Chain A
C-alpha cells in the first residue's frame, strides 16, 4: 500500500510550499511594513559588518566589538582595543557563520587593527585612499554591535543621523589624550558606546564612509563624542598594516620634544589650576616675543587658528609646530584683540633645553 507514503510525500511537499509561501509572505509583509529609505542600504551593509568577541569581561571592560569586511578573502578592519588582546578572537558574520580571526597588524596612530578570517567570496567594502569626504548634513547610517544586544546570530544594530562636522579630533580617553589627531566625522546621534568600536558608517546610498572609533570625550568640554574615522584614513591605515610598515608609535613625550614658551621668550602667570588662562607674566628682552611687542598682562586666546583657553592647551599647541612655522598669537589687551606675529620658529628645538622653565 502506497497510500501512507503518498500522503506522507504530499503532506511534506505541501508543508514545504506552505513554508515557502509564508516566507515570501513575511518578506513582502516585512517590506511593506518595515522598509524605509534606510532599509536597503542598511541591509546591504549589514552583510559586510561582523561581530567580534575576544578578551575582556574584567573591570567592566566589554569583551565584544564590531568589524568591517574590506576584502572578499576575509580581511576585517576594526578598532585597536583590549578586545583583541586574546588568543582566540571569534568573528560572527551577519548570516551566523562563525570564524576564528587572527590579528594581522595594527596602525597605532589611527588605533586601527586588521584581522583576517579564512573566507572566500565574502561581501566587503572596497577601500580607497582617495574616497571623497561627506559634507555636514549628510544622512548616515551606523551599524555596530552596540552594547552587545545583537546576541547569537542576530544582526548588528542600525542607527541613523547626520554628519555634524568633519574636523581634526581633539579628544581624550580618561586623563590621556587620544592617539588619533587626524580628521574625524562628528555625528549627531549617540553611536559610540560599548561594542560599537569598529562599527560601519555608510551614507543612505550605501557608500562606505568610515569606521566608528572608541569611546572618547571632547577636549576641553568633556562631552562624549559620537565620531568615525573617514574612509580615506581607514584605507591608508589598512594599506600601512598590509605593507608591513613599522607602525607609527604614538608619541607619548610629544609635548616635551616640541617648541615651548621659553624659546619664544614668554613667561606666563603661575599655572596652579587645571584651567589657568594663559596670561603673560613677563617677556624676556631680545626674544621673538619682545620683538613682536608682547606685554605683561596680555591674554593669549589663539595660536594661529587654534583656540587656546588654558596654559596647558597653549603648551600643547605650541609643541605641535614644526620648524619654519609662523607663530601667530591672538591676544586680548585692554579689551581689544591684538594679533602678534612672532615670525618663523626661532630655532630647531633642542631636546635637552626644552623643559618648561622660567626664562
Chain B
C-alpha cells in the first residue's frame, strides 16, 4: 500500500452510490442497440481527429519541475498536443514544457501503410514560439515532412453542459489515440477560461483535444488549478471527474500573437478589494496600485465597478470573471460609480492591462488608528478615524497630527489639482484601502478634526521603516493576561493562548510563537512562557498563541492545519484585528512560521524569524497591497564560528531575496526584551 491522493478516493466514492445497495433485477444479457450505436459514435469521433493528435516528449531537465515535484501530483513525463496549423504548429500545455525549457520532441502519428514498411511514428523537434501563461498553454513549431491535418473546430456558441465530451491523447499508444468518455460538466469555468468535463483528464491527454460526438474539437485539455480550493498546479485534479479544456473559440484569435513569438500573460489592472471573499464581496475598489493601469485610467479608492466590457459586475467574482480571460495588452472599458450612494456619478474609462505591475513596497504616513471594536449594528455609520498614536519622525508627526485627532476625509493629490475633492473616511479599513497602493512621495490630503478645529493637511508618503520605533505607547493599566487552553473541535493537541483581558471589546493583535519542535506543549512550559509575555501582551493588547509540534522531532504538515484551527478557535473567543496578525518562531519553528504564513497569507502580515532561515528553495511572492508582509529577523548569535559563517551567509542571501521581492525586512538588535520587541512590532503592523 502506498499513500495516495485523496481525490482518487473521492472519485471512487462518487461511484459507490451508483453501484452498490441496488437490488439488481435478474435478466439475461442482450446487447442494447443504443449503447452499441453510442460506442461506435465515440470511436468514429476519435477517428475524425486522430491525425491531429501528437505526443509531446519532454527534452532535457527542468529544475523548476523537480522543485515542484510532490508525491501526490504527477510531475513529469510525456503528454499530448494538438495540430492547430498544417505547417507545423502544435499546441500543448506547460505540463510537458516547463518555463525553463524551450524545446520538446513532437511525435507525429504514423503515416503510410505499406506492407513492407510498418507505419512508424515520426519524431520532430518542436521549438517553443509563445506561451499563454494565463491558461498554461504553449505553442510549438516544427517542420513536418508533409502538411499536418488540422481538425474541425466546434462552434463555441453551441456548447451545452450535458453533451458528450471525449478526451483524447497520444501518450499510451503512438499508433492510436487514447479515449476517455464523459460529458461537458460546465462552460465558462476557471474564471471564464475553460469548459469543464467529467471525462478522465490526466497527463496522458493534457494538450490533447476535448471533442464532441461528431469529432469536432471543443478545446485543449489543460491542468487549470481550482484556486478557490487552494490548488496551484491543476494536476492535483487528474482523473478526479473534474477536467478542464480551454475552448478553441477563445484560442484561435490568440494564435497569431503566439506564432509571432509573443507571450500572453494574465492581464493585471492593479486594484484591490476590501474583502478576500470574491463571492459575497461587493466590487468596490479599495486599493489602487501606483502607476498601474487602474491608476492611469483614473480609478480611485471607493469606486464601485458597474460593468467591465459591458458585462455587468456586482460582486468581486463578477469582476474576476470579466478580467481573468484577458491578457496583458488588452484594453478593457470600465464603468464605475463614484460619490455618495444616493447620487453617484457614472464614470466610463479605459485601461490597458499589463503583465507585470510596477514593483510595490509598503509606504506610510505614520498614522496608527485606534483599534475599533467591531460594529455592533449596521445603523450607525462611523464617520471618522481616531488616531491612536503617531509614528515618531513620520510625515504625520511632522505635519502636526496628534493622538486623539480624527481623520474625516482624504484624497490622493494628483499634483495638478491643488485642492482635490475629498472622499469621506469612516473606518481604518477605508483609510488603509485608500493609502494601500501608494508609491513613495505621493501627496495625500487629509482633513483632520481636533475638538472644533477642522483643517486640511498635506503629507507625503514615505517607505515603511524596517524596524518599529523604540518607543510605542503601551497601556499600563490592564488586568494581567490569562493562560487559556485553545480547545476547538477536531483540534488535536490544542495549544495555549496568553489572552489579555479587554473590557472594551477592543480587537486584539495576534502573535503565534513556534519553538523548536519538541512535541505538544505541557502546561508547565506554557506557564513559564506566560511570565515572559505577560507584560508585553497586556500592554500592546496582543494575544500570544503558543503551539507545540505534533511530532517530537519536526514541524509537519498536520501542524499547519492546527495553526488554522487555533486561529479559528481564538477568533471565536475574542475579536481579532486582521491587520495585526504575525507568526514567529525560533530555529525550525521560525522556518515553520514562514510556511504557515504562506498557507494563511490572506491574514498574516508579519513573520518573525528568530535564529531561523527561510525554508530552502521557497518561492517568494512579490509584495502586493493585499499581500503585505513585514519580515523581522532576530539573532541571538550562533554558538560556533564555523556555523556562523555558513548560516549568516545564507541568512544574508535570504534577506536580499526578500528585499528584492519588495517585502519590508528588518533585523531586531539583540535584546533582553524579546517579548516586548515582538509585541511592539505587532502593534506597529497597523500603521498607515
Contacts and interface: CB of A to CB of B under 8 A. Distances in A.
A34 B27 CA distance: 12
Interface string B190-224: 00000000011011100000000000000000000
B178 A157 contact: no
Nearest to B26: A43
Contacts of A166: 173
A307 B12 CA distance: 32
Contact of B179 (A37, A162, A206): A162
Contact of A299 (B16, B38, B59): B59
A195 B173 CA distance: 28
A332 interface: yes
Interface in B7-40: 8-9, 11-12, 15-16, 18-32, 34-36, 38-39
Interface in A205-225: 205-206, 215, 217-224
A97 interface: no
B671 interface: no
B125 interface: yes
Interface string A133-173: 00111110000001101100011011101111111000001
B75 interface: yes
A35 B172 contact: no
A108 B38 CA distance: 38
A146 B77 CA distance: 29
Residue from B19, B38, B176, B200 having most chain A Cβ neighbours under 10 A:
B19
B238 interface: yes
A3 to B, nearest CB: 39
B344 interface: no
A188 B15 contact: no
A133 to B, nearest CB: 12
A357 interface: no
Chain B contact residues (Cβ within 8 angstroms of A): what range?
A: 35 or more
B181 A309 contact: no
B675 interface: no
Interface stretch (A124-132, A234-242, A254-262, A271-279): A271-279
Given A40-B27, A135-B43, A305-B120, A224 B8 contact: yes
A180 to B, nearest CB: 16
Contacts of A146: 12, 15-16, 19
B177 interface: yes
Contacts of A31: 25, 27
Contacts of A275: 61, 66, 76
A336 B174 CA distance: 20
A167 B199 contact: no
Nearest to A170: B172
Contact of A277 (B5, B36, B61, B176): B61
Contacts of A136: 43, 46, 173, 176-179
Interface string B95-134: 0000000010101000000000000110111010000000
B533 interface: no
Given A159-B19, A204-B35, A224-B4, A39 B25 contact: yes
B1 interface: yes
Interface in A1-58: 26-27, 30-31, 34-35, 37-44, 46
Which of A135, A150, A218 gathers the greatest number of chain B CB atoms within 10 Å? A218
A121 B239 CA distance: 40
Contacts of A205: 29, 31
B42 interface: yes
A61 interface: yes
A86 interface: no
A35 B1 CA distance: 36
Contact size range, A:
35 or more
B75 A222 contact: yes
Given A35-B25, A37-B34, A204-B39, A61 B1 contact: yes
B4 A277 contact: no
A165 B173 contact: yes
B28 A335 contact: no
Contacts of B202: 223
Given A43-B24, A193-B12, A221-B75, A163 B123 contact: no
* B18, B38, B58 pick with most chain A CB within 10 angstroms: B58
A12 to B, nearest CB: 25
A15 B22 CA distance: 25
A354 to B, nearest CB: 27
B302 interface: no
A146 B15 CA distance: 10
Interface of B: 1-2, 4-5, 8-9, 11-12, 15-16, 18-32, 34-36, 38-39, 42-43, 46, 55, 57-61, 66, 74-78, 103, 105, 107, 120-121, 123-125, 127, 167, 172-174, 176-181, 199-200, 202-204, 238-239
8 contacts: A37-B34, A149-B20, A154-B20, A159-B18, A164-B180, A189-B15, A190-B8, A221-B77
Given A30-B25, A162-B39, A218-B204, 19 more contacts: A30-B22, A35-B25, A154-B20, A155-B20, A157-B19, A164-B178, A188-B167, A189-B15, A204-B35, A215-B4, A224-B4, A275-B61, A299-B59, A305-B174, A307-B55, A307-B57, A309-B58, A309-B78, A337-B123
Interface of A: 26-27, 30-31, 34-35, 37-44, 46, 59-62, 135-139, 146-147, 149-150, 154-155, 157-159, 161-167, 173-174, 186, 188-190, 193-194, 204-206, 215, 217-224, 226, 273-277, 299, 301-302, 305, 307, 309, 330, 332, 335-337
